[in-house]
Chain A
Amino acid sequence: MVEFNIVQILIIVFALFAWSRGILRLRDKDISIGEFAFWSLIWAVVIFAAVFPYIIAWISSKVGIGRGVDLAIYVSIILLFYLVFRLYVKTDNQDREITKLVREIAIRDAKKKKKK
């Protein structure tokens, strides 16, 4: 029987919770199946790392990083950067679309003083 410490349990519970939110959002069609797969993979990796920390430790020693926790932190940071970049691109696009909308409304509602 494997014994988990509190941190491991918390991580697993949180990951399961986050994953369940993902399922709900997929059901409401808020996210696509691809996005759901992406997040499922991430949470699966998190759970895997929490359940088998020694495997992560083994992998990290193979890639030349001392501790398993360090590897997890490095990977998380890279992932966060990637997500921030995606968000950035998205807000940029939204910004442009808002401008386009505002412009069309302005032109459509062009006002002129009525000549008497």
Chain B
Amino acid sequence: MNVFIVIAAYNEGRAISKVIKSLQNSGYHNIVVVDDGSKDNTSQVALDSGAVVLKHVVNRGQGAALKTGMEYALRNGADIIVHFDADGQHRVEDLKAMISPVASGKYDITVGSRFLTKAKIPFMRKLTLKTAVLVVWLFYGVKMTDAHNGFRAMNRKAAQKINITSDRMEHASQIVEEMYKKNLRYKEVPVIILYTDYSLNHGHGGIKQALKVFMNMIRRKIFN
């Protein structure tokens, strides 16, 4: 099985090398880092660590970056594509549990869920995430425990079918929507998200951003 790990990175020069190294140490060697127009040395660091680097000339958002990585993986014969976090939030140890349901052919896509484990999650983050779960349920009728988890593994078919048109952060809910619309067999897998100080101070998860995602979901509902 040809497993490709796709990592979307924006200004992750500090964290990315460790992530790539730990993946390689676990036997994953097709690592695709999409540098989404970073202003730091993300590309160079990732390249030196032995990953394939795709560089967005200008920043296009995480959704766009993931799609670029998927496109590359598909063109290079990937059987399974994994979305993995650039700043060390996802554990390499969880990879096997994420991949095996897809590899066995039973499911088309797995999505990580931090709510299926007993791990502690910062309260504010829990609040926004659970709101997202509710919104996804209301919008698409898909019941998930964690609707905005960036840890995913999918087979070729799913990668071809899931069309991410949302360039920015709302791609997460769009993937759920696509999963549902294209009748993909999906499964949530318990994963532990590491909330390091670094990742907590690193942008995502704020109320402001959550609102923006929500507005874009409504917009998509109206115009598409």
Q: Count residues of B near A (Cβ-Cβ below 8 Å).
A: 21
Across-interface contacts of B50 in A (CB, < 8 A): 113
A96/B52 in contact, CB under 8 A: no
Partner of A107, one of B60, B64, B71: B71
Q: Name the distance in Å between B148's Cβ and chain A's nearest Cβ.
A: 21
Interface residue A72 (Cβ < 8 Å from any Cβ of B): no
Contact residues in B for A95 (Cβ distance below 8 Å): 167
A1 contacts the other chain (CB 8 A): no
A27: chain B residues at CB < 8 Å are none
Chain A residue at smallest Cβ distance from B46: A111
Taking A99-B60, A110-B72 as known contacts, 20 extra A-B pairs with beta carbons closer than 8 A to each other, sorted by chain A number, are A95-B167, A96-B165, A98-B58, A99-B167, A102-B56, A102-B58, A102-B60, A106-B34, A106-B68, A107-B68, A107-B71, A107-B75, A109-B54, A110-B52, A110-B53, A110-B54, A111-B52, A111-B54, A111-B55, A112-B52
Decide yes or no whether A21 CB sits under 8 A from chain B.
no
B83 at the binding interface (Cβ < 8 Å) = no
Smallest CB separation, A99 vs chain B (Å): 5
Chain B residues with Cβ under 8 A from A99's Cβ? 60, 64, 167
User: In the docked arrangement, what's the CA distance between A112 and B165, Å?
Assistant: 27
Do most interface residues of chain B lie in helix, strand or loop, or is the interface mixed? Answer: mixed
B47 contacts A111, C-beta separation under 8 Å: yes
16 pairs of residues in contact across A and B, judged by CB atoms under 8 Å = A98-B60, A99-B60, A99-B167, A102-B60, A102-B68, A103-B64, A103-B68, A106-B55, A106-B56, A107-B54, A107-B75, A110-B53, A110-B54, A111-B43, A111-B54, A112-B53
Q: Which residues of B contact A (CB under 8 A)?
A: 34, 43, 47-48, 50, 52-58, 60, 64, 67-68, 71-72, 75, 165, 167
Chain A contacts with B in 59-116, Cβ cutoff 8 A: 95-96, 98-99, 102-103, 105-107, 109-113
The minimal Cβ–Cβ distance linking B97 to chain A, given in whole angstroms, is 29
The 5 closest A-B pairs by CB, nearest first: A106-B54, A103-B68, A111-B53, A99-B64, A102-B56
Q: Min CB distance, B220 to chain A, in Å? A: 11
In Å, the complex CA distance between A110 and B46 comes to 12
Q: Chain B contacts of A112 at CB under 8 A?
A: 47, 52-53
* B64 proximity list for chain A (CB < 8 A): 99, 102-103
Taking CB atoms and an 8 Å cut-off, the chain A residues in 1-55 that contact chain B are none
Nearest opposing residue in chain A for B167, CB measure: A99
Roughly how many angstroms separate A103 CA and B71 CA in the complex, as a whole number? 9
